[in-house]
Amino acid sequence: MTWHATVLTLFPAMFPGPLGASLAGRALEEGLWRLDAHDIREHGLGRHRNVDDTPFGGGAGMVMRPDVIDTALAAHRAPDDARPLIYLTPRGRLLTQADAARWAKGPGLVLLCGRYEGLDQRVIESTGAEEVSVGDYVLSGGEPAALVLLDACLRLLPGVMGGAGSAEEESFTDGLLEYPHYTRPAEWQGRAVPPVLLSGDHGAIRDWRRDRAEDATRTRRPDLWAAHLSQRMAGRRSPADATGSVATASAGP
Ligand code: 6GU
């Protein structure tokens, strides 16, 4: 089965949006993945197709009604649908590369995009939707976040990228920011390319790139650097240590 994304939104015209261009767009045309964006308003109530109401307890903004969301979900997601249901919200846990890798291996995703102040809490709970955020800033709705999440998954699908971003390269920069890149001309506006890159010494180039990746991570992203270091230490530890038994000396450098 082809990887299938279903999006529930008040703005279906935002899809595929930027994903219709470039590699994901080509892959969509080739049938390597499938996208259905549905308008939640089609399930709105009354003559005005209302989807939201004022918050109990007062306050600013509007809240999307649980009954409307539930009906929209039921219409576009079969009871036996194995795809994870994700609600895009700045209250969610932060999206990671590991999420994208896991979801890319699965059958696809159902993405629920909120507007206004968000969804009634009860329908989040009753559907078991996973709440995901794409960063610590506030967007006007979940749609751009859904596009970001989809892009992160799509580039990992077989055949979507032309074999670029190979497994070797990913393990080389495992948990690190990328090293800087250079191309012709070798000198430009008085700036030379680092000489090692012109040396033809592939061992030295590998070491230089590794150093630059580590430096960048340490200085720009101390959070990633700390995670990388603890991963590195865990990798050196024996399986017995990982289970919490008494520490023994680890082997090797
Ligand atoms: Cl998923 N939604 C909105 N509205 N804002 C966000 C977000 C999501 N992730 C970061 N900011």
Of 125, 154, 183, the position where a domain reaches its end is: 154
pLDDT tens by residue, 34-79: 999 999 999 999 999 999 999 999 999 999 999 999 999 999 999 9
**215 in the same domain as 101:** no
Largest Cα–Cα distance of the chain, in whole Å?
Answer: 72
Locate the ligand 1 atom nearest the alpha carbon of residue 136 and give its number. Answer: 10
Distance 243 CA to ligand 1 centre (A): 37
**134 in the same domain as 207:** no
Q: Is residue 169 part of a domain?
A: no
The pLDDT value recorded for residue 191 is 98
Q: Is residue 249 part of a domain?
A: no
**56 in the same domain as 20:** yes
Distance 57 CA to ligand 1 centre (A): 24
**127 in the same domain as 8:** yes
Summary mean pLDDT of the chain? 91
Sheet with strand 130-133: strands edge to edge: 33-39, 3-9, 108-113, 85-94, 130-133
**189 in the same domain as 69:** no
**196 in the same domain as 87:** no
pLDDT at residue 251 tops 50: no
**116 in the same domain as 35:** yes
Of 154, 182, 210, the position where a domain reaches its end is: 154
Q: Is residue 218 part of a domain?
A: yes
The whole-angstrom separation of Cα 17 and Cα 19 is 5
Q: Is residue 227 part of a domain?
A: yes
pLDDT tens by residue, 238-250: 655 444 333 333 3
**183 in the same domain as 88:** no
**95 in the same domain as 18:** yes
Q: Is residue 71 part of a domain?
A: yes
Distance 90 CA to ligand 1 centre (A): 4
Distance 88 CA to ligand 1 centre (A): 6
Locate the ligand 1 atom nearest the alpha carbon of residue 134 and give its number. Answer: 9
Q: Is residue 91 part of a domain?
A: yes
Of 88, 122, 154, the position where a domain reaches its end is: 154
The whole domain housing 30 covers: 3-154
CATH number of domain containing 178: 1.10.1270.20
Give residue for tokens 């890149």: 181
The pLDDT value recorded for residue 173 is 54
State how many domains the chain has: 2
pLDDT tens by residue, 109-157: 999 999 878 999 999 999 999 999 999 999 999 999 999 999 999 999 9
CATH number of domain containing 24: 3.40.1280.10
Q: Which of 86, 112, 134, 147 to mutate to test the pocket of ligand 1 (most atoms within 8 A of CB)?
A: 134
pLDDT at residue 18 tops 80: yes
In the chain, the percentage of residues whose pLDDT exceeds 90 is 85
Distance from CA of residue 204 to its chain's centroid?
33
**96 in the same domain as 210:** no
Q: Is residue 132 part of a domain?
A: yes
**182 in the same domain as 96:** no
Query: How far is CA 59 from each of CA 51, 52, 63, 64, 115, rounded to the nearest angstrom?
Result: 18, 14, 11, 14, 16
The whole-angstrom separation of Cα 69 and Cα 92 is 18
The whole-angstrom separation of Cα 119 and Cα 237 is 44
**148 in the same domain as 114:** yes
Measured from CB, residues less than 6 Å from any atom of ligand 1 are: 88-90, 133-135, 137-139, 141-142, 145
